[in-house]
Amino acid sequence: MSGELHGKVAIITGASRGIGKAIALKLAAQGVNIAIGAKTVVSSPKLPGTIFDTAREVEALGAVGLPVQTDVRFADQIQHLVQATVERFGRIDIVVNNAGAILWLPVEELPVKRFDLMMQLNCRAPFILCHEAIPYLKQSGGGHIINMSPPLTGLHLTTEAWAGRTGYLMSKFAMTHLTIGLAEELEFDHIAVNSLWPANIIDTQATRVFTDMLHIDESVPWYSPDLLADAALEIVQSNPTQFTGRQIIAETLLAQRGHPDLSRYLVSPPDFERS
């Protein structure tokens, strides 16, 4: 296998299933070695897939998969993830902050512990991972950081509304602020920092749990995580000195890169609750 990404190394959090796993496999198909940082080491019906499953699928594609059990609530486990990656591969080129927590409740009803969890996973953990990984990205001569977070303006997306989701969106917009600040800080180090978010619904464990809160019907398309994975691939194939500090909508980027037909990503939605 040859190509501009072959031999590069990516750390992806939350990569035992869903969007993180899809990105891991998409990059692995291009020859990127993947450090898989996630908690799950035993599969269950509620949480199918483990870090070891993803590692096996990465290696089936010809890349190297490094499963590292990581609970991103804890700084020492994030530090271990980074150090294990450097010890195994000697470099870091790509960081994808994908792991997260979600609970949609009005502020009055949202337990403070659950709010703290969302802030830990969606805000604090990406900060710590970037803090730990940036020196190695610099040593590699540059690279890419992708934060899975929404744009600060023009938020007219199928799955987003403020009412009942204030705590969650506070934590995700904090990650977008990390994107903006880091992009400026790393401008001269050839390290691109971008946020990536879908305009439509991506089929994951979380969206299936919150289906009834989305206030949509069968006419709204559901897309596989591969949509975001393909957009992530487009980002890391971009020149980091020219494509940074952006709040990217996946569907828009794919259209701009010559892939406007999203039909290949369509999946069957879950059964909708009908009144």
164 token code pair: 């009942």
Q: What is the pLDDT of residues 69-93, one digit of tens each?
A: 999 999 999 999 999 999 999 999 9
Q: Is 136 a catalytic residue?
A: no
Residue 273 lies in a domain: no
Q: What is the pLDDT of residues 38-51, one digit of tens each?
A: 998 998 888 889 99
Q: Exactly one of 136, 168, 223, 265 is catalytic; which is it?
A: 168
> Could you list the residue range(s) of the whole structural domain that residue 86 is in?
9-265
Q: Count of domains in the chain?
A: 1
Residue 272 lies in a domain: no
Residue 275 lies in a domain: no
Residue 229 lies in a domain: yes
Residue 86 lies in a domain: yes
Do the Cβ atoms of 175 and 149 come closer than 8 Å? yes
Q: What is the pTM of this model?
A: 0.93
pLDDT of residue 160: 56
Residue 271 lies in a domain: no
What CATH number is associated with residue 206? 3.40.50.720
Residue 66 lies in a domain: yes
131 token code pair: 């803090």
104 token code pair: 């949609």
Pairing between β-strand 65-69 and β-strand 94-97 as defined by DSSP bridges: unpaired
Residue 195 lies in a domain: yes
Q: What is the pLDDT of residues 57-72, one digit of tens each?
A: 999 999 999 999 999 9
